[in-house]
Chains A and B, each alone.
Chain A
Amino acid sequence: MAGTLAAVTMFSSAPIAYTLTGPTWSQPQTPYYINAANLDLPGFSTETAVRAGADTWQQQSAAFRFVYTGLSTQTTTTNDGINLVLFRNASSGSAIATTYWWSIGSRIVDADMVFWDGAFQFFAGSSGCSGGFYIEDIAAHEFGHALGLGHSSFTSATMYPSVSACNTGNRTLDADDIAGVRALYPLQPLAPPAGLRIIP
């Protein structure tokens, strides 16, 4: 994307390849919903897998988190303040899933994800996949976009733009992904307990 900011690599001890798209969420958490209706799996399995993908980032982005709020029957996306994950019985080129995120100035205000269920078969868990994709891994990548990350050029990164069938690597963040999300949402230093004086 034109607004993508390339990460600085010159002065870092470890090479980094993540990109930031600019805006970030300004509040510490935001709710999201799942429309789990799809062609491949029972709703409960789908819901669990999407949540697992979202949670991939939770341990590394302490300054912000997506909070799962419940199921939805909504089937369309727009800037309506409802962050939605849905499955669509349609294809979209070779995209497995697409994230749409909306911003006003530097603030993300809405994010929705569409899994292209008409083109690909989706699986849950970590076994049994054949020629398709695990929801958890695709969701992990898409939630990275919803956080404000662009693509990484590291093939081992969750934010690498393409993925092979049945890959389970996205659900484990690469150091580059962690560096990216921490650049967007820096970990806050712990405040000293009340009453404790800090002596320089």
Chain B
Amino acid sequence: MPQANRVPIVVYLCCGLLASALAASAGQTTPVPLAERARGAELVVVGRVAGVRSVWQVNEFGDRLIVSIVRVAVNETLKGQASPTLDVEVEGGTIGELSLHVSDQTSFSPGDRAVFYLKRNARGALVPHLRGQGLLKLDASDRVLGSGLTLGEIRRQVAAGN
């Protein structure tokens, strides 16, 4: 293996919690460190999903896709200024019997709690920064699902990225 490729593996071993969180919801990706993720996001919030509705949208490339509009009740703003509720557009969802699954996105149901790293797209809608890597679902003890990463550590990383 070339030397250049060893770096990320060493990083994973040293920072297992972060690496597993980076990998938790993404498609096949190159993981972006949490602090860097926060630096690139316009808005970072912790919130609970209040509702989800799916619509048809044609994206900038001409793809006709189902997109879920996820209404988030904001509990905490880690970066930027957020209103008490936000609508976040996430590719994938269900209309009638037809569902679209997207490998590098996360799907949400009402009641889900998550950290949302957000940016605005060309239409001004809020979308996840870095797609699935901008969406970290939390469990009841405020750990990112599938990892040991805590909300406290995310707060520290967001602060470090600002």
Name A's B-contacting residues (CB within 8 A).
Answer: 1-3, 21, 23, 75-79, 88, 90, 92-105, 131, 138, 141-142, 145, 151, 153, 155, 160-167
Contacts and interface: CB of A to CB of B under 8 A. Distances in A.
Contact of B131 (A77, A79, A92, A155): A92
Contact of B5 (A1, A92, A141, A164): A164
Interface stretch (B19-27, B72-80, B81-89, B150-158): B19-27
A90 B30 CA distance: 16
B101 A94 contact: no
A100 B102 contact: yes
A145 B26 CA distance: 12
Contacts of B108: 2
Classify chain B: how many residues form its interface, as a range: 35 or more
28 contacts: A2-B106, A3-B101, A23-B99, A75-B62, A76-B64, A79-B100, A93-B129, A93-B134, A94-B26, A94-B29, A94-B32, A95-B131, A97-B28, A98-B104, A100-B100, A100-B102, A102-B98, A102-B100, A142-B103, A145-B103, A151-B23, A153-B146, A160-B23, A161-B26, A162-B22, A162-B26, A165-B5, A165-B30
B28 A93 contact: no
Most central of B92, B103, B131 by chain A CB within 10 Å:
B103
Contacts of A93: 29, 32, 104, 128-134
Contact of A165 (B4, B26, B99, B146): B4
Contacts of B2: 166
Given A153-B146, A166-B2, A101 B133 contact: no
B98 A104 contact: yes
Contacts of B103: 98-101, 142, 145
A138 B9 CA distance: 18
Given A2-B108, A94-B133, A161 B29 contact: yes
B65 interface: yes
B31 interface: yes
Contacts of A101: 100-101, 103
Contacts of A76: 61-64
Contact of A167 (B5, B63, B133): B5
A166 B5 contact: yes
Interface in B32-52: 32
Contacts of B98: 79, 102-104
Contacts of A79: 64, 98, 100
A77 B57 CA distance: 12
B26 A131 contact: no
Given A78-B63, A94-B130, A164 B32 contact: no
Given A2-B109, A77-B63, A94 B5 contact: no
Nearest to A170: B28
Contacts of A165: 4-5, 30
B28 A96 contact: yes
Given A2-B112, A161-B27, 14 more contacts: A75-B61, A76-B64, A77-B63, A78-B65, A93-B128, A95-B27, A96-B29, A98-B102, A100-B63, A100-B102, A105-B97, A161-B29, A163-B28, A165-B5
